[in-house]
Amino acid sequence: QVPLVENGGGLVQAGGSLRLSCAASGTILRIYTMGWYRQAPGKQRELVAKIFSGGMTNYTDSVKGRFTISRDNAKNTVYLQMNSLKPDDSAVYYCNRVTIPWVWGQGTQVTVSS
């Protein structure tokens, strides 16, 4: 298992931006397809963005054009830049390997006020 540590969440007004980071130790993230997930209260966890080992990215429709997933291989870190945030984006955000998830980290809370 790989310990995942998510950071960067917070409280922001609608229209604002946040940048989340996901760091791991004990493995090289760039060789995996990594994803950012979110889970709002009472809802299932959903995959919102993923980045393949080759660098290609994919987004769920609700965040296309607003969120950008990227990685810094030197820092072994995956990022999620979130712009034009909406109250519906409020959730706990997690990162994990997409194919076979590792143990889930604590996540980072994102709260968007209207």
**Residue 5's pLDDT band (cuts 50, 70, 90):** very high
Q: How far apart are CA 15 and CA 84, in angstroms?
A: 4
Q: Does the structure show a pLDDT above 90 at 27?
A: no
pLDDT at 2: 77
93: CB partners within 8 A, 6+ apart: 6, 9, 20, 36, 37, 38, 80, 107, 108, 109, 110
pLDDT at 26: 82
Q: Does the structure show a pLDDT above 80 at 86?
A: yes
**Average pLDDT over the chain, rounded to an integer:** 95
Q: Does the structure show a pLDDT above 80 at 1?
A: no
pLDDT at 3: 85
| Mean pLDDT, residues 40-48 taken together | 97
Q: How far apart are CA 38 and CA 30, in angstroms?
A: 21
